[in-house]
Amino acid sequence: MKGFFDPSILEEVEMLRILGPEGTMEEELRPPELTDEKMQELYREMVFLRLADQRALNLQRQGRMGTYAPFMGQEAAQVGSAAALGEGDWMFPSFREGAAMYMRGVPMEAIFAYWMGNEAGQRFPDEVKVMPISIPVGTHPLHAVGFALAAKIKREPICTIAYFGDGATSKGDFHEAMNMAGVLKAPTIFFCQNNQYAISVPRTLQTASRSIAQKALAYGFGGIQVDGNDLAAVYAATKTARQRALSGQGATLIEAVTYRLGPHTTADDPTRYRTQEEVEAWLPLDPLVRVRKYLEKCCMWDQEMEESVYAFAQEKLNRVVQQAEAFPEPTPEEIFIYTLEKMPQRLELQMKDYLAFLKELEG
């Protein structure tokens, strides 16, 4: 295993890397099912997702989408981890996991509709095993642990995976989830996308830990740090964590070291807290670039294929936008009817009162 070091924050911390920035694969570490054909398939998805992310940003700037959290630069972390999951596993996403959600079957038009302000975009098809997006930072790992423990009691051969950023690991809920997962050996994967910033706060200012991964040791289970821009390393680490979970060895914390190339959200101006030189230093590590370089070396990719995939993705996104904007407008009643399975009388009275109030406003 070869290490990758960021001298400013990761000195002496070994990190799993399989596919290097120059497109060179460490074959002895490569999972056998991650064939060249599979790499090519996943690269196509990464291209689509990069363009989908950019389209969402454009829609927000045009006033056709609300505040949006882009994931540009983090495609390998999300695609690689989602691709390594089993059919029955459940995903608990935060607000930046559009790529991972899409890979698990959430329609992109539903993701777009949600960020356009339509909660119906969180109503996924029944067969999709993805929980709704969690906006509060770091609260949903608790849900992932509880769900995993229920599955363990029912002897279901599945695991759960909770996605969060490096900032969430400084929150209390994260540590409560880690503690319960350690004590009860929950089949849960904690997947941290360490993109170097908790909004505008650098990682080194929000935790004194040398790595995020080492936090797992305090709770009695394993942690691993991977190059989060390396599709193969992320896939391999997630696959191993899943095997540990299903074999009764409990949870794993994966720290995927990556970099958010865009803003925290469309309401953020990253030029106020990081330099252009810093951004440019990460560009050679772009997850799409290294996969393309690898495929080109294998004679499985060329410029003509690149242009074809980009054109197909843009056409697909045109349909996605049309479908997202065609989602039915939510009704005022929906504020109330999805809170609980069966609406209690007090909530029903509140709904009637609110509807009467709206009718008065209409005159």
- Report, as residue numbers or ranges, the catalytic residues: 260, 264, 273
Long-range contacts of 207-211 (CB under 8 A, 24+ apart): 207/166, 207/169, 207/170, 210/10, 210/11, 210/12, 210/13, 211/10, 211/13, 211/255
- Tokens standing for residue 18: 């399989």
For residue 252, list its beta bridge partners. 189, 222
For residue 202, list its beta bridge partners. 197
Taking a C-beta distance cutoff of 8 angstroms, is the pair 17, 230 a contact?
A: yes
- Residue listed under structure tokens 């009817």: 337
CA distances in angstroms from 347 to 125, 205, 338, listed in the order given: 27, 44, 11
Terminus-to-terminus CA distance in the chain, angstroms?
A: 71
Closest CA to 6 of 197, 281, 230: 281
- Tokens standing for residue 278: 């810093």
Helices (H) and strands (E) in the chain, counts: 13, 7
Three-state DSSP class for 282?
helix
Contacts of 33 (CB under 8 A, 6+ apart): none
- Tokens standing for residue 118: 């339509």
